[in-house]
Amino acid sequence: MIKTLCTLLMAMITLGSYGQSKTESIIPAPLSVQHMDGNFIFNANTSFSIRVKDAAPVQFFRDYLRAHTQIHVLKMMPKEKNATQIIFTDAETANMAEEGYELTIAPKTITVRAKKAGLFYAIQTLIQLFPGQNATSAVLPCTKIVDRPRFGYRGLMLDVSRHFFTVDEIKGLLDLMAAYKLNRFHWHLTDDQGWRIEIKSFPKLTSVGAWRVPRKDFYGADAPQPGELATDGGFYTQEQVKDVVRYAAARNIQVLPEIDVPGHFMAAIAAYPELSVTKNPDTKVNPGSSFAKWFATGGFEMYVDNTLNPTDEKVYQFLDQVFEEVAALFPYEYIHIGGDECYKGFWEKDAGVKDFMQKKGIKDMHGLQVYFTKRISEIVRSKHKKAIGWDEIDDGALGDGVAIMNRFGEKGALDQAKRKVNLVMAPGGNGLYFDYAQSASEMEPINHGGNDPVWKTYAYGVDYAKMAPEDKSYIQGVQACIWTEGMSSMRKVQYMLLPRMLALAEIGWTELSNKDHGRFADQAMPEHLARFDRLGLNYRIPTAFNYTDTTLVGQEFKFTLKPPIPGSKIFYTLNNRFPSEADHEYTEPITVRLLENKRTVLKTIVVAPSGKRSVVTRTVMLNPAMKKAVSASRPNSGLAYRMVGPSSLKIDTGITDMALEKFRSVKNASLTLEGLIKIAEDGYYEFSTSTKATEISIDGLRLFDSEKPYPRFDKADPVYLEKGYHKFKIVHSSFTGKSEPIIWSRYGDKKQLLESVNVYH
């Protein structure tokens, strides 16, 4: 559902929130807010006084009022003596931050003092202060707001290669960004799954590279089959690109295009196979099928060559022309050159590449990518632009204004800033990859993995405590990324984006001293989610708890809940069944008392006024009796084992440690380990393993069974153990020679490997 910014702002006025919007509900939170007595009446008698050199933002606001409300501000002078007016002025703003503003609401006059960008953002703040009244008038609380952004770069990336989105859908996303003061749209235009921008010099980039065989589900899709037609895709003409850039500029958003090189180039290679070292004419645009093997220890192996040939001058001539046309379309000073996940295996096998490296004195494959990156940076600079790329382009000696978009986080950022490299922070491990799940619940829709709830995004501080103060100035800002492998529609994008985008807006704009998660989560976010609900945006409904799956131990439990959206309701069960509107409605705190060795499960669901539902939360409550320790006089280290080989006639017994080194050559067997485990102190303990076909038991109680359905949403319970020795048993029914690590922890503590020093016989 695509809506223009005007429609979004209209909804904020006419639909509003429950009761008068408070300044505490402004997102992102302003630099300073001073409350004053009285109200300003905004109605048909309100006039505009325009005293700015560039009145485009004011005209934008006037056009919105004329088209979408009954408050038609047509005259620039008051219609009557006691009429209210809004003064837009850029006087005394020479020392004001480019995007800063002052907004003063007095009983008779609203004064907006700002330059062009700041003027636009003052209007966004003004709109957020409109209460939930009809569109003929509005009562605004008198207040003075002084505001400016913490960072100049506040970005959002959309990957349109994995799935194509129309121009109208892109504009709808830009509207949403503008309403929350985000000012950089990173447009990921090319990748293995589609080339999305018209390059007139190379028409096959779009006639071939923009299309692939259709697949319903991206993850695990089948590869293109002989005879299948490539009918899924699309691309943006250069006129459409110009239209998007103009639309963004009118909303103070600059567009950063990305042409990802030298890897992630399969769509272009499908069109022009000669650009790769393998020159495979059968290369196809990838439809979401697997074409690489990723190793648990790090690294990957490509089955299909998706990388440019860095030794071929024709490749650089090709890229020179591509960047020539791209640079002409985008006014922004930077072009993103990608550089991530460049597989070098096909380079290593190519005799021509080896000969080139020897002639150039290039020692290794990393050095070859460094050579390529420098050549591309020179091409970009020749177009009067600067290059920015992912961490992998960093060779430790970047120059000529090349910037890094950091996706690896603190370790790289500390070194990069120390070397005076300009940085945009977009680390996936800090809640900024919006293709990750928004909770650990199995009910979350298909996603890349991970678990990045909105509070994790909000908690990211952008710079780091270990970073020297003088180095922090090299952090230009922050960005979140929407990789769309699992997002084939804008409704799915909205679900993964909202409400996390609200947190992104605040970490990019709001000073650290003004960040307050309590205010954000309890006061501000509910009002904005209510607006999204009325707009029909497909946002994720927050759950009744910050977590979706947890275990609590004790005798008595009390839960006090707050509906996360005005008008929403919470329903719950206490019998482990999924709740619905037919179950208990939460109206007062829930109290649960448990007898010893009893267990119960609280499950909750939130239903918004629109009928949308949250995922279900699961809270296990336990009151287990303590398992008493067994007597053990000076036991020996290690566990007794019994192994039954592929043939049941082959049985081996003995003693082993937890490393299981002596069984490395075993291919398929049943391995049972028995003995004692030493518990250092009384407490609740958890045990698990990622290995399939494994059972873990203590004192005869089975704690973990990987063959039993124990997903994240329905995991095993902790056990209450007395200090001392306890009987311990592990059964690997399908052992394959690996170390089979067992994970354990005292409940609530950090998980760790079970070591040999902890087990005895």
Catalytic positions, written as ranges: 191, 264, 341
359 has which bridge partners?
Answer: none
**Phi and psi at residue 43, to the nearest 5°:** -150, -165
- Burial label for 142, CB within 10 Å (0-12, 13-18, 19+), is middle
DSSP reduced 3-state for 211: strand
Q: How far apart are CA 420 and CA 397, in angstroms?
A: 10
**Phi/psi zone of residue 638: left (φ > 0), alpha (ψ -120 to 50 degrees), beta?**
left
Residue 352, Cα to own-chain centre: how many angstroms? 41
289 has which bridge partners?
Answer: 221
Please provide the size of the chain in residues.
761
Q: How many CB atoms lie within 10 A of CB 605?
A: 23
617 and 635 Cβ atoms separated by less than 8 Å: no
What is the Cβ-side half-sphere exposure of residue 490, based on CA atoms within 13 angstroms? Answer: 17
Measure Cα distances from 75 to 50, 139, 395 in Å: 11, 21, 59
Q: How far apart are CA 156 and CA 187, in angstroms?
A: 9
Beta strands 85-89 and 109-114, pairing class: parallel
Q: Where are the alpha helices (DSSP H) in 453-601?
A: 454-459, 490-497, 500-509, 517-519, 525-535
User: Tokens representing 505?
Assistant: 């807006």
Among 293, 291, 288, smallest CA distance to 219 is for 288
Q: Omega of the bond prior to 226 within 30 degrees of 0, cis?
A: no
Q: How far apart are CA 340 and CA 347, in angstroms?
A: 16
**DSSP letter (8 states) at residue 28:** S
Query: What is the crossing angle of helices 490-497 and 167-179, to 10°?
Result: 20
CA angle 559, 439, 3 (to 5 degrees): 105
SS (H, E, C) 442-483: CCCCCCCCCECCHHHHHHCCCCCCCCCHHHHHHEEEEEEEEC
615 and 545 Cβ atoms separated by less than 8 Å: no
Q: How far apart are CA 62 and CA 56, in angstroms?
A: 10
**DSSP letter (8 states) at residue 433:** B
Helices (H) and strands (E) in the chain, counts: 17, 38
SS (H, E, C) 149-168: CCCCEEEEEEECCCCCCCHH
Q: How far apart are CA 55 and CA 61, in angstroms?
A: 10
